[in-house]
Amino acid sequence: MERTSNLPVPGKEFSLKVPWKKDFRRNWMVYLIFLPVFLYVFIFNYLPMFGIVMSFQDYSIVKGFFGSEWVGLRNFIDLFSGEAFPNALRNTFIMAGFNLVLGFPAPIIFALLITSVKPRKFRRTSQVISYLPNFVAAVVLVNLIKNFMSSTGAITEALTFFGLPAQNWLTNPDPPVFWLINSLSGVWQGFGYGSIIYIAAITNISGEYYEAAAIDGASEWQRIWRITIPCIMPMIVMMLVLQFGVLLRVGFDRVLMMYVPRTYEVADNLFTYTYRMAFGMAPNFGLAAASGLFQSVISTILLVASNQISKRISSMSLF
């Protein structure tokens, strides 16, 4: 029998690769739709990367990139030898740890709880309510926190009822008060919206697994522990790796609006430090750029390291 030409030949590698030009002619409409996205990413994400040269210059707005004096690593030396830098670095990693420990599991737990609720109307209403804080502007959120945690605020009154002293908690410089306020406010704002991807992953799990487990007498908790969590573990690993990539942000916008001179010692972090260097009383754009580049390098290292650790421990990774 004559062999059909489009069938793979035994013993030879079968490839589905299509030449780029042929694929472009076939799917030119898809490329056209993608063009605005490509231009947006290129203009606003890749072109600004040229600003890295500011890290090695005594940058002046008047002289620009090509006229500013090249100083090599002097900005990095000044950055690492600055009096406020060690404290900002310490606070950044501490707040990042709080955000990771308190913030990362919150959407997972909420997704597990909300998908276990049977009444569909109650479940959907709860989901909508949990999504709303994500759309609250940081300015509004901080004002709410200031009102609730003032010396006469609702949260302060509740804490006083349990024996804690009446005070303005945002001006308390004792650890870990400010760190907890920052982390818990971020959890409240983001856990509902962050649970969407986990809820979608849970709803895609085949119901046959749960039916078989129920027939075998598995309880609700056993089904969650033995079926749901293992099935969504690849998604959890992917989100955890991505979380390490943005770990150093520590809610910069909230911190910038919440901290006061009395709490600088526990609230100042790399982002607020960089902000002051760039827009303070004596702006130093080269030092601010060096600080930003340092943060980017650390974030990249954390991202790659967490991915490699995940690959070795669980055989799952993002890349």
pLDDT at 114: 92
The Cα 18–Cα 31 span in angstroms is 15
Q: Residues near 234 by Cβ (< 8 Å), separated by ≥ 6?
A: 316
Residue reference for tokens 């069938």: 7
How many angstroms separate the Cα of 99 from the Cα of each of 174, 218, 244, 303? 18, 34, 11, 16
The tens digit of pLDDT for each residue in 117-169 reads: 888 888 889 999 999 999 988 899 999 999 999 998 999 999 999 888 889 99
The tens digit of pLDDT for each residue in 26-70 reads: 888 998 999 999 999 999 988 888 888 999 998 888 888 888 899
* pLDDT of 195 over the 90 cut: yes
Q: Assess contact for 75 and 56: CB atoms under 8 A.
A: yes
* pLDDT of 287 over the 60 cut: yes
* pLDDT of 3 over the 80 cut: no
pLDDT at 35: 93
Residues 276/278/280/283 CA torsion (nearest 10 deg): 140
Give percent above pLDDT 70 in the chain.
Answer: 94
What's the whole-number mean pLDDT along residues 280-294?
A: 87
Average pLDDT, the chain: 87
pLDDT at 316: 73
Q: Which amino acid is at 120?
A: R
Q: Assess contact for 234 and 147: CB atoms under 8 A.
A: no
Any idea what the Cα angle at residue 9 is, between residues 8 and 11, rounded to 5°?
120
Instruction: Look at residues 269, 258, 263 and name the one whose alpha carbon lies nearest to residue 142.
Output: 258
Beta bridge partners of 70: 57
* pLDDT of 193 over the 70 cut: yes
Instruction: Count CB-CB contacts under 10 A for residue 192.
Output: 22
pLDDT at 106: 94
pLDDT at 263: 92
pLDDT at 234: 87
Q: Which amino acid is at 314?
A: S
The tens digit of pLDDT for each residue in 231-282 reads: 999 889 888 888 888 888 888 889 989 988 899 999 999 888 888 888 877 8
pTM above threshold 0.75:
yes
* pLDDT of 315 over the 80 cut: no
Q: Is 30 helix (H, G, I), strand (E, B) or coil?
A: helix
What's the whole-number mean pLDDT along residues 4-9?
A: 48
Q: Which CATH number fits domain 74-314: 1.10.3720.10, 3.40.50.1700, 3.40.50.12780, 3.30.565.10?
A: 1.10.3720.10
Please give the helix or strand (H or E) that residue 142 lies within, else none. Answer: helix 138-148
Instruction: Look at residues 318, 202, 299 and name the one whose alpha carbon lies nearest to residue 244.
Output: 299
The tens digit of pLDDT for each residue in 63-103 reads: 888 888 999 899 999 889 888 899 999 999 999 999 999 99
pLDDT at 17: 67
